[in-house]
Amino acid sequence: MSKSVVVTAENFESEVLQAPVPVLLDFWAAWCGPCKMVGPIIEQLAEEYSDSIKMGKVNVDEETELSGRHAIRSIPTFVLYKDGKVVNQTAGALPKNGIEALFKELI
């Protein structure tokens, strides 16, 4: 069972902005090869850090408004929120330790 949360324009405020823990959003698409490589890592991290961070997945093809709001130009892109504000953002496929480094100091 998936531990990450599908984030949409409809649930963005409750799942991301009002989250009691930091939220790492993975902007991805089904046709994106690097996104497919990163997907299992996101699920693994969601399981390992389930008490301290929330992992969210944003499908750029289905959520064009959210993608535009975050100025997503390439995927995968990771956007880290804490207390309702963007605190880190990076584009490109990363290994597990690279993704962990995005949020490790906040938890």
Q: Active-site residues: which are they? A: 32, 35
> How far from 71 is each of 46, 74, 102, 106, CA to CA, in Å?
24, 9, 19, 24
Residues 85 and 101: their CA atoms lie apart, in Å, by: 18
Asked if 50 contacts 62 with a C-beta cutoff of 8 angstroms, the reply is: no
Query: What does the CA dihedral 106, 94, 33, 22 come to, rounded to 10 degrees?
Result: 0
Say how far residue 101 (Cα) sits from the centre of its chain: 14
